Structure 1
Amino acid sequence: MTNVLIADTSGADDGGELVGRGGELTELSDFLDGAAARGGARLLVGDPGVGKTRLLQAAAAMAVQKGFQVLTASGVQFEADISYSGLNQILLPLVADIDGLAAPLREALTVALGLGEGVAPRALVVCNAALELLSRASRTRPVAVMVDDLPWLDPASAAALGFIARRLPGTHVCLLASFRTGQAGIFERSGLSEVEVLPLNRVDSMRLVAGRHPTLSARARQRLLDEAGGNPLALVELAHGLAVSDAAPAGIVPEVLPLTSRLESSFAFRIADLPDRTRQALLLIALDGRRELGLLMRSGLGLADIAPAESTGFISVTLATMAVHFRHPLMRSAVVDQSTSDERRNAHRAIAENLHDEPERRAWHLAEAAVGPDEDIAAQLEQVARSVLSRGDATAAINALTRAAQLSPDRRDHSRRLAEAAYLRADVTGELDSASQLLAAARRIDPEASGSLHAAAAGAYMLVNGDGDVDTAYRVLLGAIQSAGQDWSADNTELVEALSTLLLICWWAGNPDYWPPLFEAIDRLEPEPPELLLIQSRTFPDTARIRPGDRERLAALIARQDEEFEPNRIIRVNTSSVYVDLLGGCRAGAWRLIEDGRIGGAVRSSLGAYMHLLLDDFGTGRWAEAQQLADEALAVCRASNYNFIVYYFLFHQALLAAVRGEAERAYAWADELTLVTTQRNAAGAERFGHHARTLAAAGQGDWEACYRYACLLSPAGEFAPYTPHALWVAFDLVQAAIHTGRHREARAHVEAMIAADPPAISPRFAMLTVGAQALVSQGADADRLFAAALDMPEASRWPFDLARIQLAYGERLRRGLAIGPAREILHEALATFERLGAAPWAARAREELRAAGVAPSKAAKDDIEPAGLTVQERAIAELAAEGLSNKQIAERLFLSPRTVGGHLYRLFPKLGITRRAALRDALRSASPGDSGAVSPTERQ
């Protein structure tokens, strides 16, 4: 089945030829030829009336000739709040093929398109289902999706098309869509190919007018060309009016208004000539958006009532699909603009009466039909907000709450709903300017709104991301929570949201005194705190003092994340997982939020998801992906003026630079983080920089600095309260303490690690704890502990941490002259460091291998080198050949100068030399080809 695009003749002469569009038509034809084989997307961008719709119609005709199945939709302003109404238009001709999809995709798409009932589907599943349906349809012949005025589509459909557009290459499906110049929307255009549709030049404008009105006087034609500025719709529509005026005896050309007003006046004149019932039918079609003839029938109207509009070219009717199409979107706008407010309300009421089985659409049309405040309709819209938010559509929830507020008879309800919309703007979608405006409006309407928890929470976000500080945000929000008359029931969602926000502010502030009032408030919830809030308050703020069983309870919440779509709940589960190293199970939910944020949805929540993926990527060795995500998130923060949250991505930039050996960059990123956080008194957030500095110093071998930075997170011998980040540098602190001769401090910190009950925290921390125990142990105990650390459950999940323990163990074995085992474990560490790109640690591993007498690339593990040298002798000989003294060699290899001298005395005869100066040539002669060892100079 092939839908038919709007029959628009803008830009066409009497013969139907598109005037002045040869270049655009050629480009579209070439695009379709390529798309038939490899898919793709192309956007038509231009001013209103410039002929984008006519070009789409021409492209549709070409597509049909080329064997495409053409699917179309037009953006409808009045259905912009009804999720997937646009997708419904596009996919309706393929409805019979939905049964062929896999069950999860079939169920999601059926519910989204309003063709069945079920659990609200995830947006990402709907997107994948729509893409799969289009791909299946293209197996028999290529498919062309053509959308006029895409930004007017409902946000869910626009987001879905944005998702689909980027995945069309390699398929047999293409997308052509039109945008008005400067028009914004949910659909993400960046990176997609565009065709700019420009106004016609004067010659082509003259051709178009002459083809339509050859008898128009020269004077009228020149005035038309001057006023229309090459806009085809203006040329076509105004030419008719000028032709009529020019027929007057005086032949006077009338004065005209600016372009948009002229067009509206032209439409209004023609609408006014239509019968009342025709105008009534057109208004129903324009406001309903679905363009179904069935609506007319149910409203007592019929085909005869729309016939006059069809004969004048206002609309076209496709009887096969029972659909009505306006010739141009401006005609739909004109129908609405030229109706009275009473007529519009009556039309919306008539539509609502036929939507009892679609409560969301019904609520919106009832809202438009309302003549004043109406709590019943406001309550329905508030319920719509709850429903759409539960399936992740925060933007629609905000729109519903804002309209519900406008319909609220009670000023407190009005203010409360605006405050909640402001909170969602600040905390989920991240539209800070809009949130600020909504919050100000809430306070104007009800000066007592300062007691509103949503208002207080939104205000807290405004303060932190603006010029305020976290201390003020804490006092404002805590004061609102502790206000008299508070409802302390656990199902008070506004209170639970406020407490969750306060928990985050306490974390940012880094003030231990801020936590007890929060915990007291959580304990007051009756009959008991909600599971998620309780778990987050136990696993995240002070992980070193976690309670037995809390990690298991959190794991149970993570296991149910596939059933969770509300952005805030996803973020809070993930946040709870950070320091207990359970983020691996949270990746799917985080990616859903990032995909949603990328297409303009929950942008602020998506930043939280970036944080969590980055932490998991760093720990599990996905450093390339981490760099990409850190760059992307940092750009989003800066583009959206998230002037505080940016600290988190500065941290990851610093962290990645540190482990790659880019110390100067790491310190610069960390210093920028410090500037951002100290400006807001966010001592808790400031601590993140110390982690990056600790690793940067360790990479440089500056163990004194490494020790000092690690102690800034928590002093040696303890884990400071509410500073779980100290768990991640505990091993570094112990290692740095040993390197700087602070053996007592090293042992004290190991005891603190053991006291924290590592298995209750995570396998990763347990591994690091046993590794740290090995560092402070001697002899067989050290060997046993190192082996136990490397054999810990899930040790391989944390490659950087594991390889650092392997390196420390290899160093100890090599110094103890257990050369074979040392070489084996050092090779393993080196392979990991090289794979990760941990340059400083890789260099250290190579140095240890070289000291063990073998180049990192040499696979053989024999203890005897060419010419009969032992690995120890080989190492000493190479260093001596480089010109190092016996004392320098002894320091490098942790031997005594006497031992070095003894080895040199024994190896000279093996090499057939009697003096030190002959070492270099002798070593080369003894090792033809690859000697299995590389000198320090050669490595450099």
Structure 2
Amino acid sequence: MSSPESPDSGGGERLDGTADAQQADRLVGRTAELALVDELLGPAAAEGVALMLTGEAGVGKSALLDAAARRAAEAGFRVLRVVGSQFDEGVGFSALNQILQPLADGIPGLPPRQAETLRAVQGLSEEPPTELLSVANAVLALLSRTAAEDRPVALVVDDMTWLDRPSTVVLGTLARYVRDSRLVLLAASRIHEGFLPSGAGIHTHEVQPLDDASANELVTHRFPAMTARVRRRLVEEAAGNPLALLELPVTLNEAQQTERGPLPAVLPLSERLKKVFAVRVDALPDPTRYLLLLAVLDGSGDLYILQRAMSGLDALAELGPAEKAGLVHVDSTRGRLVFRHPLTRSAVMELSTIAERRGAHLALAGECPEGSERRARHLANATVGPDDGVASLLHEVAYRTLCRGDAVGAVTTLLRAADLSSDGTAKGRMLAEAACLGANIAGDLRNVRALLDDARLAGPVSADSLAVAATAASELINGEGDVDTAHRLLVGAMDSYARPSPAEDHMLNEALHVLILVGFAGGRPEFWQSFDRIATRVQLRTSDHLLSVVHCAVGDPAHKALPVLDDLDGLVFALHGETDHRRILRTSISAAYTDRLPGCRSALRRVVDDGRNRGAVTSAIEALFILGYDAYASGQWDDLRNLTAEGLRWCDSRAYGLPAWSGRFLQGLLAAAQGDGRTAGETADRLVSWANPRGLRLLRVYASHIRALSALGDADFEEGYRHLRSVITPGELPPYMPHALWLFMDFAEAAARTGRHAEAARHIAAVRETRIPAISPRMAMMTDGAEAMATTDFIDHDLFERALGNPDAERWPFDRARIRLAYGERLRRAKSGSAVVHLEAALSTFQRLGAEPWRARAANELRASGNPVRTAVSGTDPVSTLTPQQLQVAQLAATGLTNKQIAGRLFLSPRTVAAHLRSVFPKLNVTSRAGLRDALTGLPRPRT
């Protein structure tokens, strides 16, 4: 008599997925519902109560009833189960007999009329059942007697939608009188489809879909190998329906769950989900189903488009049956058709044939303008077999998609265009372009080699092809190859193009940017000279403004940045509306070497978020490490750890070797600044080991920077000088060495503190001659500070004060604190009383940053001056350990703002706000937001 695998039974949100009695109540996100059950069971032992759970199919009502039945049994109730079945809907009293069967021994003890009535219900009497009220009274008498003589009774009724009508009426009558007996009635039905009268003692509770956090927890536990992006897609499609959350992954293979294979545009339904979502679609008239198919394939829900595509039929009239079935509704304010649940779209697709889908795509293509992207995509979906015209349209669409910031979509479109091409050469070119975009933007080097092999098999794709060369160069510098070979491949490919056709502009532009990367990593002037020659010959330096800016600001900022700074500022300003990841990243890396990254932050975070959600991982890796450098320079060192850790995880999983070393360099720099000499040294050693066989000079410079900073923090100036001297020639700022801008203050301090004053002075003179201070306020501050450090015969108060008085100096707290420390050291040796002001300020900043060796140097100077190291800056004041941004976040959280609200005010991501709070709580010795106000009120503010 039970339902054959009730559609809702899969909605149980059990973490363990078993029926084990000890684990069965572990339902995700159902704390409120279980508390309601417990609250009702207590009074029910003395007087009856009824609870009706309603909700959509698959939302987890059956799982809640299972948990409620177990809790009732543990509380001493006798539990009787009734499950409706759609096959028994027309069989009189079939559900009621599920109650009577286990209580049959008690029927003879009832008054004769009631006993006879129940025997008639059981079919054991020749007399037919009497009126339903008499049946209800007889059942109530049997249940009351059982409760009185034995123990309270819990009647658990599932799937009331499918109960036979007589049983439903009887149970509704029972519900009115449960207060007169020790009876609890727990029932469940789909929303608006069950029947249970309202009245005293009858409670109704609608079971809502799971929230996103609970949905993620459920899927993560049941499918631990699934990647985060796939999980987010499933959670979005399931819309909180537990059955869907557990069943949708069943339709995906392992490659799809782990992102090694693409997900379908519309997720397929399992057999159980079809029972829930497809049954109502299948019952619709054919024109209505066709209208819904058009809506799914169109994606916009625009009723005007749907009306035109219906070929004369009245779309609103045909929509009526779907509205009545609760599948869709019309947003009249926007003129849009909206599916009430995302999986209804999947059901519509499941029930359509290939011919129906092809016809619908053709109808929709006919309503799109010529040359539009939507028309091209509909035609591609309707095409069976090769069609070079459609392939050409898709080729153009792929690059429009790329400019929108959807690199993964661009690669997918190129692959479809290649499928539709009958020309082997064109097919091979498109596959090679897909490989290039996949390697350099979308983000998975593991698949690139297979794509290049397919390109060569498809047609005569030369090794000198720009796409092949750019892809191969990326493979080489990220793997076991060397930078010289990568450079030779790129130059050879670009030299073969005297004047590229418009169709090849995209690949030429990509290849030139890869050549910039090769020159940047290789660090040799001849690499940049070949770029100058090629860029001039193909006449792109004037037509691609950004390319020229990147070349100057990244390739040789010391000598070439000044003329392009106005252009760069314009590009940074335009980032708020920019969608193309390539332009965001190329502008931002230019901004990194010219200290303009704050204006790029929000755009970079968009790239990271897009990478997390849509799979453009290479772009996200670059954005994370650029944000990581910004976090280092601005003193947000906790952010630096989080950003680099996430980026390195992606690098490891996607075989990106070269970008990984940018992240490790930042981690090594942080370790050096904070006194973790072992980590700093190991990181530097690994950088050199990876760089040497590949000819990557940049990484050797990175290693020297880490070692020098570590030595300077420990006041080992001779060791610091030795490492810096390996990459710096005093008085020279060689072209095409951008990292020189980050080292000249270190060199000036190390040289001056080891008695090499002439070298320090000569180097700072070269800095001024190249007008580096004009690049940014930071460069001006560091130049003044470095020159003041290099001056030996007197304290140059003007230089120190000018450096520290720079109105933007607070944006770079570590650099500023180092200048303060140097000033304080000289003032202390001159026995000036003002030394303590600068030493305490430097000490406070180092304390907040966790820069322990620098803190120790400042503290030692304070003690040497005869001044005590104040408690407020010695580490016992918790507030002084917060970074400026952590303090801002903590103060806003203490006012009661949510993470999302704080993020909006500070232009951060909610994820970053959460990370700050996780760091703040232990520092302030509080465990929740509630303790922040007292902690911040009762303690002094950090020094600035």
Q: TM-score, normalised by structure 2?
A: 0.62
Is this contact kept in 1: 2:12–2:63, CA < 8 A? Answer: no
Supply the distance in 2 between the matched residues of 1:548 and 1:609 (Cα, whole angstroms): 24
Question: Matched residue of 2:743: which SS?
Answer: helix
* Counterpart among 364, 374, 381 of residue 394 in structure 2: 381
Equivalent-residue separation in structure 1 for 2:445 and 2:632 (angstroms): 30
Equivalent residue number for residue 440 of structure 2? 427
* CA deviation after TM superposition for structure 1 residue 659, in Å: 0.6
C-alpha distance in structure 2 between counterparts of 1:716 and 1:12, whole Å: 80
Tell me which amino acid in the other structure corresponds to 1:12.
Answer: S
* 2:518 aligned with 1:505: yes
1: distance between equivalents of 2:283 and 2:810? 78
| Amino acid in the other structure paired with 2:860 | E
2:889 — aligned with what? none
Instruction: Answer whether contact 1:416 1:449 (CA < 8 A) is retained.
Output: no
Match of 1:724 among 738, 742, 747: 738
Contact 1:374 1:408 in 2 (8 A): yes
Given the alignment, which residue of 514, 519, 538 partners 2:527?
Answer: 514
Residues 29-71 of structure 1 show CA distances to partners (whole Å, capped at 9, x for unaligned) of 5367999xxxxxxxxxxxxxxxx99423859999xxxxxxxxx
Instruction: Deviation per CA, 1:137-191: give whole Å up to 9, x if none.
Output: xxxxx999969xxxxxxxxxxxxxxxx947xx9xxxx999989957768455599
Q: Return the offset for 1:657.
A: 0.6
Q: How does 1:853-864 map to 2 (within 5 A)?
A: 853-857=866-870
Q: Distance in 2 between matches of 1:263 and 1:594?
A: 34
Aligned to 1:56: 59
Matches within 5 A, 1:299-698: 299=311, 335-336=351-352, 339=353, 344-356=357-369, 359-487=372-500, 492-526=505-539, 528-546=542-560, 548-698=562-712
Q: Could you tell me which residue of structure 2 aligns to residue 832 of structure 1? A: 845
Cα deviation code 1:189-227 (max 9, x no counterpart) = 59999999799xxxxxxxxxxxxxxxxxxxxxxxxxxxx
Partner of 1:11: 5
Note if 1:849 corresponds to 2:850. no
Structure-2 change in CA distance of 1:27 and 1:646 (3 Å): closer
Q: Is the 8 A contact 1:283 1:335 kept in 2?
A: no
CA distance in 2, matches of 1:517, 1:395: 31
**Alpha carbons 1:704, 1:740 under 8 Å: kept:** yes
C-alpha distance in 2, partners of 1:643/1:771? 36
Contact 2:11–2:241 under 8 Å retained in 1: no
State how far apart, in whole Å, the 2-side matches of 1:346 and 1:625 are. Answer: 52
The verdict on how the C-alpha distance between 1:423 and 1:32 changes in structure 2, with shifts beyond 3 A counting, is farther
Q: Deviations over 1:754-801 (max 9, x none)?
A: 222122332222222222222232455623322232233422222211
How far residue 610 of structure 1 moved from its aligned partner, in angstroms, is 1.6
1:463–1:469 Cα contact (<8 Å) kept: yes
In the alignment, the residues of structure 1 paired with residue 34 and residue 366 of structure 2 have an alpha-carbon distance, to the nearest angstrom, of 47
Opposite residue 467 of structure 2, the aligned amino acid is: H
SS of residue in 2 equivalent to 1:717: coil
The one-letter code of the counterpart of 1:719 is L
CA 1:721–1:660 in structure 2 vs 1: closer, same or farther (change >3 Å)?
A: same
- Judged with a 3 Å threshold, the aligned counterparts in structure 2 of structure 1 residues 342 and 787 are, in CA distance, closer, same or farther, namely closer
Q: Which among 298, 316, 339 is matched to residue 310 of structure 2?
A: 298
1:6 corresponds to which residue? none
1:887-910 deviation line (CA, Å, top 9, x unaligned): xxxxxxxxxxxxxxxxxxxxxxxx
Counterpart residue identity of residue 821, structure 2: L
| 1:798 aligned partner | 812
CA distance in 1, matches of 2:823, 2:316: 89
Change in 2 beyond 3 A, CA 1:143/1:747: farther
Matches within 5 A, 1:727-766: 727-766=741-780
Distance 2:340 2:242 in 1: 23
Matches of 1:366 and 1:290, distance apart in 2: 17
Deviation at 1:728, TM superposition (A): 1.4
Query: Against the structure 1 CA distance between its residues 390 and 303, is the aligned structure 2 distance closer, same or farther, given a 3 Å change threshold?
Result: closer
Secondary structure of 1:831's aligned partner: helix
Instruction: Between 272-281 and 602-611, report the one with greater CA deviation.
Output: 272-281
Post-superposition offset of 1:661: 0.9
Q: C-alpha displacement at 1:385, in angstroms? A: 2.3
Match of 1:30 in 2: 31
Which residue in the other structure is 1:256 paired with?
none
Q: Alignment partner of 1:55: what SS?
A: coil
CA distance in structure 1 between the partners assigned to 2:230 and 2:427 by the alignment: 31
- Tell me, yes or no, if the aligned pair for 2:525 and 2:735 is still in contact at 8 Å: yes
Query: C-alpha separation between the residues in 2 aligned to 1:176 and 1:789?
Result: 52
User: Residues 503 and 518 of structure 1 are in contact (CA less than 8 Å); yes or no, is this contact kept in structure 2?
Assistant: yes
| 1:799–1:289 distance in 2 versus 1, CA, 3 Å | closer
Q: What letter corresponds to residue 744 of structure 1 in structure 2?
A: A
In structure 2, how many angstroms separate the alpha carbons of the residues matched to 1:491 and 1:628? 39
Q: How big is the alpha-carbon RMSD for the aligned residues of Structure 1 and Structure 2?
A: 4.9
Give per-residue Cα distances to partners, 1:695-726, cap 9 Å, x unaligned.
00111222121001112222223223322212
> Shift of the alpha carbon at 1:411?
3.0
- Pair 1:777 & 2:771 matched: no
What amino acid maps onto 1:560 in structure 2? A
The structure-2 alpha-carbon separation of the partners of 1:859 and 1:691, relative to structure 1 and needing over 3 Å to count, comes to: closer
Amino acid aligned to 2:719 = A
Pair 1:590–1:287, CA change in 2 (3 A): closer
How far apart, in 2, do the equivalents of 1:479 and 1:681 lie? Answer: 19
Structure 1 position 850, deviation (Å): 0.9
TM-superposition CA deviations, 1:579-634 (whole Å, max 9, x none): 22111221121111111122243211111112221222211211121122122222
Q: Which moved further from structure 2: 770-779 or 190-199?
A: 190-199
Cα–Cα, structure 1 residues 176 and 577, in superposed 2: closer, same or farther, change >3 Å?
A: closer
CA distance in 1, matches of 2:834, 2:695: 50
C-alpha distance in structure 2 between counterparts of 1:557 and 1:721, whole Å: 24
Q: Secondary structure at the match of 2:594?
A: coil
What is the rounded CA distance, in whole Å, between the counterparts of 1:484 and 1:11 in structure 2?
A: 66
In structure 2, give the amino acid aligned to 1:436.
Answer: R
- Structure 1: which 5+ residue stretches go unaligned? 1-8, 36-51, 63-141, 148-163, 200-227, 233-258, 861-940
Paired residues of 2:444 and 2:655 also in contact (CA < 8 A): no
Structure 2 CA distance, aligned partners of 1:828 and 1:285? 64
Shift in CA distance, 25/17, structure 1 to aligned 2, threshold 3 Å: farther
Distance 1:190 1:33, change over 3 A: farther
Q: Structure 2 vs 1, CA of residues 609 and 286 (structure 1 numbering), >3 Å: closer, same or farther? A: closer
Task: Specify whether residues 809 and 320 from structure 1 end up closer, same or farther in structure 2 by C-alpha distance, changes over 3 A only.
Answer: closer
Q: Is the 8 A contact 1:386 1:397 kept in 2?
A: yes
Deviation at 1:483, TM superposition (A): 0.6
